[in-house]
Each structure stands twice: as structure tokens, then as C-alpha cells.
């Protein structure tokens, strides 16, 4: 029906007759002439309707915003002085010869130019919201990103193999979405949290290199950057070790950024051990754009009079200092704000020292009520290790290690971005490696897998599985970008006896392992190749690429934080007949409202 997209028109088409289809983005009447900005997915074009074509002009007068139009006309230069440099088609306009109203439109619920809409309004009227140029750009970029992934993977011999959506519930990890079976009464499918086991089975089956851009599901209470269904770029390969996998995967990310954003990422990506990342940044996905660093002073304050420090320092906790260059200029209320902020992470307070004179390691040079309770050696260590200069400020975290890392790590990010302690780079990728295999669950008195139970132990660490699980490191790697984890993976266990040892370390007995993972253990016995892989969070990567505030801005039809679709009103009640067919009933006394997280 058209010859061109609106946004494609330019001066090279002068004097040509074109036909466009699109939406009346704006109509203006000016000097007896009607101007219609016609919009399609490629952009805007200005259509000029002269009154000398009376019938067409009468029709143009009836056009309102969002009418669907078909316009045929001649491309001409805009009059001098009316060129719009912001538009691709800003040099030209179309003198309308024929106008057809393909569909009228009622007045939309909001203007597409309104940038202050509540998310509820946007999601309720998602179809209109998706017309906004930013949303069009976001979803186009998402598409170009997925195609860049596919092209790279295809060129490297990876093949897309679909894995089941209706699969088996394995209640470790996050909560499953369940699907009642009609044919097998009382039984349920689960929607996959990831195709992890299937992709490993595909390696055992000999497909060598697998990928899939695939929906995954987690029924968890939603944070800002989570959705009940999300999309992974899921990858697995055989006969490559972790170094080769990381090298190939970072080449892919570089290619994707180059092709979609024309951004050149570093080559190679830097790598850092988990231990170092926690030590220096309090995070396993440090934002390297922020120049501030945590400095450990635990050993130096183990015996000071100040119990807030010596308590944790002498009982397995951590005391970390965060030097803020020129931070002495922070106001009292700013500092109070940060002290409030760290409480979110469980910190009980936020001690600090203003460095008035770095050469005087006493209450004269170091301004803080805590200084008198720190001995000279401690003060010396603090100033030396942080490299504090006169005019700086030093924040402290002192608590259990996890609380210190979470709180001071988060403070580092917040303060770094708010106050501009940044290295000026737009993109800072980082591989974090040498993760521990297990973390201890104090409540459950058991070891949990840090990554997942199919991750291989680091070479030489296999014996720790039985003797000292806490010391056992994993062949796992996460890719952090600007402080977000955008991907993660590992080399997997390919020998059945190692997999059984890991299950034992996790307290999963032989019988339970057979029941839940029998098909995996069998597969490992039938000739499993060495293999490993990775999954990237597509929604998050595209969110970062577009600079969107929320992953909901890069998903066409997202759910709210209460996991609802405001557009279609899902979930919704269903017929009793449907439930009967599925052999389930609602619980007798269903409260009509429950708080998220309490159910």
C-alpha cells in the first residue's frame, strides 16, 4: 500500500511521487493550509494539504490525531526557514495529492509526547504507549540485539534447539510456576526456570554447540528489574574449557555492542576473582566505573577500644573503610542520608572520619568522635591503607562480613554516581571468576550451591567436596557490566561420580538425587563430554543499552510488580469446568487480597 516509510524520506526523492501509510501524529492549520505530521515506525514526515484540492482538503480537515491515513503526494523541499534538522525527513515535505482515511481514531487517552505518565496508565493503554517513538526504538533495538546474538552464534557453529516449556518441577532454587495436568490427575508440569538440564543433555547427545533465546519463569516477588517471565540468551558448548568459553562469549558481547550501538568494548574484558571483588568492592558484580574502593582494616582494629570496630573485627566480621577524596565537604545532612541508606542493608550505623590533616594521626588531624577510641597503629593503618589525603572523608562499615559488603558496597555505588567519583567510561565489563562452590545456610544448617548443583569444582578442589566444602571453588564465571550481572555460567560436571559427590555435599541423598535428577545422572554415565555454558539476561542487557529505567520499557507486554497484565487483565478467574478438568479446586477460604510476599 505504500512506496516508502515516512522516516525514510529525504531530499534524494525530491519531485518523486510517494505513497505513505501511517498515523496522524499532529495536525496543524496554518495560513489556510493543513499540515499533518504522518508517523510510522521509521519516523515522521510532514504532509501539506492545500485547499486547491477541495475534496482532499475537506477530508484533511476531518483528520484528528492518530487517524490512520494513506497519503500520495510529491516530495518537495520545505520552504527556506522551515527545515527541521531534528528529523531525518526534516528537509522535505509531501504535497498531498490523494488522502485516504484508512481508519479514524477516537481521542487517545494521553498524548504520545507526554513523558510524565504513570506506569499504570502506560501499561493499561500499552498499545498507545508502544506507539511512542522511544518505545518503538527500544523494541527495535531489542530486535537488532537478538539478531546480532543469533548471527554471532550461527557463525560460530551454535545451533538453536528448542527445549520444553512444560517440564518437571524441581523445587530447589526459585519458586516454580505450575501447570496442572489434565491427563495425569494430581500431577503438574512446571514452567522452566532455565533450560539448564536440557542444554546439558543436548551436550551429552552430541549437539556440540547449542543456543536458544528463550523465555524462563520464576514465581518470585518482583523487584524493579524482575519479571515473572524473562528472556535468556542461553548457551552451552562441549569440548571447551572455561578460558575458551569466556573468550568466545566476550567476543560475542563485543560484537553485539559494536553492531547495535557502535560501541567498542575493551578487548579482552578484565577478570577478577570473586574474593578480590568482594574485598575491594563489596560486590560480586562491581561497577568499575566508580573509582571508590573498599579497604580492609579488620586486622588493624581488632583490639581497639571502640567496640563497634573491635567487636566484628575480633569475631570473624569485617571492618572496611571507604575513602571519599575531598569528602570533607560533604554536608552533615548528606552524611546522615548515607547513614540512613546503609541501614537498608542491615548496617546499624555509618562511622566516619573527616581527614582535616592527613599528617596528624590524632584528634586534631582526624575529626570524628571515634578517633579517641582508636589507637595510633589503627589510625596509621587506616590512613595509610586508604591513602587518605587532607580534605578527604573516610566511611566505615563494621559488622558481619555480608552486611559490611552489602552496605558499603551499595554506598560506594550510590555515592560514586551521585558525587561523580567516576572514571568517565560508559561501559565497564568485568568477568568475575573463582566463585565458591557453596555458601553456608545458617538457618538450614546446610551448604547451598552458589551457582547451581551442576557446576564443576575448580581443578584440584574436588577433594574439598567431602572434606571442606567452604574452601571449594567453582569453574563458574559471571559477566558484570556497569555493576549489573548480565550473564553467568560455568563449566559443568561431566562425570557422574563428581555429580554424586556434589549432591552429597548439598545434603541430597542418593535416593533423592535419583528421584529428582536420575535422568541427568544416567546421561553422565552414557558418555558425557566436557561441557559448559552461560546464560545472558536479554531484558537487562537491552535495558542497559537503551538507557531505559526499567526492564518493562524493553518488553512489549510486561507484567506489573504484582505480576499482572493491566492490558488484558491477566490473571483472571476461570470457569469451574476448567478447574474440574484439571482435577483441582480453589482452596475453600481464599482471601480476596493477600499481601505480596505473605502468601
Using rule CB under 8 A, residue 143 touches a second copy: yes
Give phi and psi for 42, each to the nearest 5. Answer: -90, -15
Q: Considering only residues 152, 189, 421, 438, which one is a binding residue for a second copy as defined by CB under 8 A?
A: 189
DSSP per-residue letters across 205-267? TT--EEEEEEEEE------TT--SEEEEEEEEEES--HHHHHHHHHHHHHHHHHHHH-----S
> Cβ(9)–Cβ(73) under 8 Å?
no
> Cβ(138)–Cβ(553) under 8 Å?
yes
Distance in Å, CB of 588 to a second copy, minimum = 9
User: Which positions from 338 through 377 interact with a second copy, judged by CB under 8 A?
Assistant: none
Alpha carbons 481 and 338: distance in angstroms, whole number: 24
Alpha carbons 235 and 537: distance in angstroms, whole number: 12
Using rule CB under 8 A, residue 58 touches a second copy: no
Please tell me whether 569 is known to bind a ligand.
Answer: no
User: Which positions from 7 through 46 interact with a second copy, judged by CB under 8 A?
Assistant: 21-23, 39-41
Please tell me whether 538 is known to bind a ligand.
Answer: yes
Q: Return the number of the residue (198 or 309) whose C-beta is nearest a second copy.
A: 198
Q: Return the number of the residue (244 or 423) whose C-beta is nearest a second copy.
A: 244
Beta strands in 291-410 (DSSP E): 294-296, 318-324, 351-355, 366-367, 393-399
Q: Return the number of the residue (370 or 498) whose C-beta is nearest a second copy.
A: 498
Using rule CB under 8 A, residue 444 touches a second copy: no
Q: Return the number of the residue (183 or 262) whose C-beta is nearest a second copy.
A: 183
**R_g (Cα) of the chain, nearest Å:** 30
Distance in Å, CB of 509 to a second copy, minimum = 17
Beta strands in 325-373 (DSSP E): 351-355, 366-367
Alpha carbons 345 and 540: distance in angstroms, whole number: 23
Please tell me whether 227 is known to bind a ligand.
Answer: yes
Residue with cell 510517494: 18
* Contacts with a second copy, 487-526, as mask; x by CB under 8 A: -------xx-----------------------x--xx-xx
Please tell me whether 229 is known to bind a ligand.
Answer: no
Distance in Å, CB of 2 to a second copy, minimum = 6
Size, binding site for a second copy by CB under 8 A: 125
User: Which positions from 166 through 185 interact with a second copy, judged by CB under 8 A?
Assistant: 166-169, 171, 175-185
Q: Return the number of the residue (337 or 529) whose C-beta is nearest a second copy.
A: 529
Q: Among 419, 413, 471, which residue's Cα sits nearest to residue 447?
A: 471
User: Which positions from 210 through 229 interact with a second copy, judged by CB under 8 A?
Assistant: 215, 217, 219, 228-229
> Cβ(355)–Cβ(364) under 8 Å?
no
Distance in Å, CB of 111 to a second copy, minimum = 13
Please tell me whether 27 is known to bind a ligand.
Answer: no
Please tell me whether 323 is known to bind a ligand.
Answer: no
Please tell me whether 524 is known to bind a ligand.
Answer: no
Q: Which stretch binds a second copy (CB under 8 A): 325-333, 343-351, 429-437, 566-574?
A: 566-574
Q: Which three cell numbers stand for residue 247?
A: 573468550
Amino acid at each position: 500500500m505504500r512506496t516508502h516509510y515516512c522516516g525514510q524520506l529525504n531530499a534524494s526523492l525530491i519531485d518523486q511521487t510517494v505513497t505513505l501509510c501511517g498515523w496522524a501524529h499532529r495536525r496543524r492549520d496554518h495560513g489556510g493550509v493543513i499540515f499533518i505530521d504522518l508517523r510510522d515506525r521509521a519516523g515522521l514526515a510532514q504532509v501539506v494539504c492545500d485547499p486547491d484540492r477541495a475534496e482532499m482538503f475537506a477530508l484533511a480537515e476531518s483528520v484528528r490525531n492518530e487517524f490512520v491515513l494513506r497519503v500520495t503526494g510529491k516530495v518537495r523541499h520545505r520552504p527556506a526557514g522551515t527545515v527541521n534538522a531534528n528529523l531525518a525527513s526534516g528537509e522535505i515535505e509531501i504535497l498531498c495529492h490523494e488522502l485516504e482515511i484508512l481508519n479514524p481514531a477516537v481521542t487517545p487517552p494521553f498524548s504520545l509526547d507526554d513523558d510524565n505518565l504513570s506506569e499504570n496508565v502506560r501499561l493499561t493503554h500499552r498499545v498507545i504507549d508502544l506507539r511512542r517513538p522511544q518505545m518503538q526504538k527500544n523494541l527495535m533495538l531489542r530486535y537488532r540485539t537478538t539478531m546480532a546474538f543469533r548471527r554471532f552464534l550461527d557463525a560460530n557453529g551454535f545451533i538453536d534447539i528448542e527445549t520444553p516449556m512444560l517440564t518437571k518441577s524441581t523445587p530447589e532454587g526459585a519458586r516454580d510456576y505450575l501447570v496442572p495436568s489434565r491427563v495425569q490427575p494430581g500431577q503438574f508440569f512446571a514452567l522452566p526456570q532455565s533450560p539448564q538440564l536440557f542444554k546439558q543433555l543436548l551436550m551429552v547427545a552430541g549437539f556440540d554447540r547449542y543456543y536458544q533465546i528463550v523465555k524462563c519463569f520464576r514465581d518470585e516477588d518482583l523487584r524493579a528489574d524482575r519479571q515473572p517471565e524473562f528472556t535468556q540468551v542461553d548457551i552451552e558448548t562441549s569440548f571447551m574449557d572455561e578460558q575458551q568459553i569466556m573468550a568466545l562469549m566476550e567476543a560475542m558481547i563485543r560484537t553485539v555492542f559494536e553492531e547495535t550501538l557502535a560501541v567498542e568494548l575493551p578487548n579482552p574484558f578484565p577478570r577478577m576473582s570473586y574474593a578480590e571483588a568482594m574485598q575491594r568492592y563489596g560486590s560480586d558484580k562491581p561497577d568499575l566505573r566508580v573509582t571508590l574502593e573498599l579497604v580492609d582494616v579488620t586486622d588493624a582494629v581488632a583490639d581497639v577500644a571502640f567496640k563497634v570496630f573491635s567487636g566484628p573485627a575480633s569475631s570473624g566480621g569485617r571492618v572496611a573503610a571507604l575513602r571519599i577524596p575531598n569528602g570533607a565537604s560533604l554536608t552533615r545532612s548528606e552524611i546522615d542520608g548515607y547513614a540512613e541508606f546503609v541501614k537498608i542493608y542491615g548496617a546499624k550505623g555509618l562511622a566516619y572520619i573527616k581527614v582535616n590533616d592527613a599528617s596528624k594521626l590524632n584528634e586534631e588531624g582526624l575529626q570524628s568522635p571515634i578517633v579517641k577510641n582508636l589507637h595510633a597503629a589503627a589510625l596509621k593503618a587506616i590512613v595509610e591503607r586508604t591513602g587518605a589525603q587532607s580534605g578527604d572523608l573516610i566511611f566505615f562499615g563494621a559488622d558481619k562480613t555480608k552486611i559490611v559488603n552489602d552496605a558499603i558496597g551499595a554506598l560506594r555505588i550510590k555515592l560514586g554516581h551521585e558525587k561523580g567519583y567516576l572514571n568517565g567510561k560508559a561501559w565497564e565489563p568485568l568477568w568475575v571468576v573463582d566463585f565458591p562452590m557453596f555458601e553456608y545456610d545458617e538457618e538450614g544448617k546446610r551448604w547451598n550451591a552458589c551457582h547451581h548443583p551442576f557446576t564443576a569444582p575448580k581443578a584440584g578442589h574436588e577433594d574439598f567436596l567431602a572434606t571442606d566444602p567452604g574452601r571449594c571453588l567453582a569453574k563458574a564465571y559471571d559477566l558484570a557490566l556497569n555493576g549489573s550481572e548480565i550473564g553467568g555460567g560455568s563449566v559443568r560436571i561431566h562425570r557422574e561420580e563428581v555429580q554424586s559427590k556434589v549432591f552429597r555435599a548439598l545434603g541430597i541423598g542418593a535416593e533423592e538425587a535419583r528421584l529428582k535428577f536420575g535422568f541427568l545422572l544416567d546421561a553422565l554415565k552414557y558418555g558425557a563430554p566436557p561441557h559448559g555454558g552461560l546464560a545472558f539476561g536479554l531484558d537487562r542487557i537491552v535495558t542497559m543499552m537503551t538507557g531505559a529505567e526499567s526492564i518493562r520499557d524493553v518488553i512489549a507486554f510486561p507484567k506489573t510488580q504484582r505480576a499482572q497484565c493491566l492490558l488484558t487483565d491477566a490473571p483472571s478467574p476461570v470457569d469451574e469446568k476448567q478447574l474440574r478438568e484439571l482435577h483441582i479446586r480453589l482452596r475453600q477460604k481464599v482471601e480476596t487480597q493477600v499481601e505480596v510476599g505473605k502468601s
